[in-house]
Amino acid sequence: MNGKIQNLIRDITGKGAVSTDASVKGAIACEVEKTAFSQAARILKEAGFRLMAEWASDETFFGRGYAVYAAYNDGSDYLVIKSALPPGEPSFPTLTRHFQGAYRLERQIDSLFGLTPAGHPDLRPWIKHEDWPAEAYPLRKSFAASTAMPRVEREYKWAKASGEGVFEIPVGPVHAGIIEPGHFRFQAVGEDIINLETRLGYVHKGIEKRFESLSWDEAARLSGRVSGDSTVAHAVAFCMAAEEASGCVPTDRARYLRAVMIERERIANHLGDIGAICNDTAFAFLHYQFSILREKVLRTNLRIFGHRLMMDRVVLGGVSADITGEGVAAVLAELNEVSGEFERLVRIYEDSPSLEDRVFGTGVLTPEAANALGVVGFVARSSGQKLDARLQNPFPPYDRFVPRVPLLRSGDVHARAWVRIEEVRDSFRLVKEMLGELPGGPLASEWVRPLPEQSGFSVVEGWRGEIVYWVQCAPDRGINRCMVRDPSSMNWLALEQAVRGNIVPDFPLCNKSFNQSYSGHDL
């Protein structure tokens, strides 16, 4: 712990001595009075920290009431502030005054836990739709997951715009393409968007609740299904949180293979995304060409790791799939072929003025807005925010093979496409270098369950951005609470800001350039 953090903790707790909560592993944690919860946010905001996640936990089984947590980050410092809520007082001070990103996280806590963020400007339900009974709080321990819910007739209150020529366009939740469900409501004048309100939660599956009834091994498999396109990164994030809590250290070879799989997942998804962005401008040629490249990568995954998306290849303590010498050669051969082809396609992207005309200046997320909303991942990096968990919180081998993180400031569709292009290039390099120095040894170390009340915090840079997990061990050494924060939870709000002032027919293009996960957000 450095001096800066010590001073901050003194400021936050108001005590002379630096006292931290040792039960939280993977980040520096300290507990404050409920009243100081938002005070801490103000102090940290002034110190340049950003809010990463905010969540609650039902700690009844430890003989306490509820607790709220907020995680902050600045550079490589990760700080978790915890406040216990006395039983009978289900409310806590809101952080929205200091961090806009807390807006939906707190609505979520309010909806699913029934803990009210006092002072929050908008307490409409979030994720839990109004046709649930208002008093049903699924994440409370007193709520049995098997409870059958009656359907209630109530309506969601949308933001309204009025004026001459203002009209509303409701889109979704079921869309024409093969994508996940989400409802978008535009207020528009002519073709100009004056406001967009998204409403999500249509794929709420109760994943966080489900974690609590699973064994650790099953939970690792579940984490790989939070957001299917990001299965490796989610599984690594969960396993790292669990390993932090238990003190289990994965083997070197496992860490390298995890990193290789994360990078291959990044390559495959970015390839698909760059093509999809082109497709939304009706430039179908690049779409199909990039799809072919993505398919090649996935087929190699199937051959080497036994699964196209590498699902369930990350397990507690290590990995379950090894790579042989032949496998390494096959991956390197594939990389050579794919990267050559990739460069050719990027040149076509650069040399097509009609395509550039669509992507430049469209859907701009300004660096100021990106900073205020606390966005993460490639969305942040294309709006001037230098955030990448591989640099800030590197797990081996990222400490040796340092990613070259691209940074753009224009924040438009092109920036989000170009950051992906640069990341694909860098991931090609990282995979090559890591495979070149792959250490030997066993695939996994022995997994031991954490001790009761121990919790682990982890941050992993998936292809979409920073994935945060916090997992807390129950008295019976099962899972008491597993908090999942997909990058989408922070970035969905940014989409609403980015499309404002654009024209309606450009929305699909903007949306594709963000390509956020519905499943990872709705949980």
Q: Which is nearer to another protein, 278 or 309 (CB)?
A: 278
Residues that bind another protein (CB under 8 A): 167-171, 175-177, 191, 278, 280-285, 287-289, 292, 352, 354-355, 357-358, 503-508
Minimum distance, C-beta of residue 192 to another protein, in the bound complex (Å): 10
Q: Is 71 helix (H, G, I), strand (E, B) or coil?
A: strand
Tokens of 437: 């120095």
Minimum distance, C-beta of residue 193 to another protein, in the bound complex (Å): 10
Minimum distance, C-beta of residue 294 to another protein, in the bound complex (Å): 13
Q: How far apart are CA 502 and CA 401, in angstroms?
A: 40
> Among 58, 56, 60, 145, which residue's Cα sits nearest to residue 105?
56
Minimum distance, C-beta of residue 409 to another protein, in the bound complex (Å): 23
Minimum distance, C-beta of residue 196 to another protein, in the bound complex (Å): 11
Q: How far apart are CA 521 and CA 289, in angstroms?
A: 30
Q: How far apart are CA 347 and CA 293, in angstroms?
A: 15
Q: How far apart are CA 156 and CA 168, in angstroms?
A: 15
> Among 426, 427, 491, 520, which residue's Cα sits nearest to residue 230?
520
Tokens of 134: 């208002």
What is the torsional sign of CA 385, 387, 392, 394? negative
Q: Which is nearer to another protein, 83 or 281 (CB)?
A: 281
Q: Which is nearer to another protein, 116 or 352 (CB)?
A: 352
Tokens of 75: 């550079």
Task: Please return the burial class of 40, using the count of CB atoms within 10 Å of its CB with bins 0-12, 13-18 and 19+.
Answer: buried
Q: Which is nearer to another protein, 82 or 512 (CB)?
A: 512
- Name the phi and psi angles at 459, rounded to 5: -130, 125
Q: Specify the DSSP class assigned to residue 464.
A: S
Minimum distance, C-beta of residue 477 to another protein, in the bound complex (Å): 49
Q: Which is nearer to another protein, 205 or 299 (CB)?
A: 299
Beta bridge partners, 170, equal 185
Q: Which is nearer to another protein, 295 or 322 (CB)?
A: 295
Q: State how far the alpha carbon of 383 is from the alpha carbons of 407, 426, 493, in Å.
A: 8, 19, 14
Minimum distance, C-beta of residue 232 to another protein, in the bound complex (Å): 28
Q: Which is nearer to another protein, 186 or 401 (CB)?
A: 186
Q: Return the percent helix, strand and coil in the chain, to nearest 5.
A: 45, 15, 40
Q: Which is nearer to another protein, 90 or 508 (CB)?
A: 508
Minimum distance, C-beta of residue 301 to another protein, in the bound complex (Å): 21
Minimum distance, C-beta of residue 185 to another protein, in the bound complex (Å): 10
Q: Which is nearer to another protein, 202 or 395 (CB)?
A: 202
Q: How far apart are CA 74 and CA 26, in angstroms?
A: 15
Beta pairing, strands 77-85 & 28-31: parallel
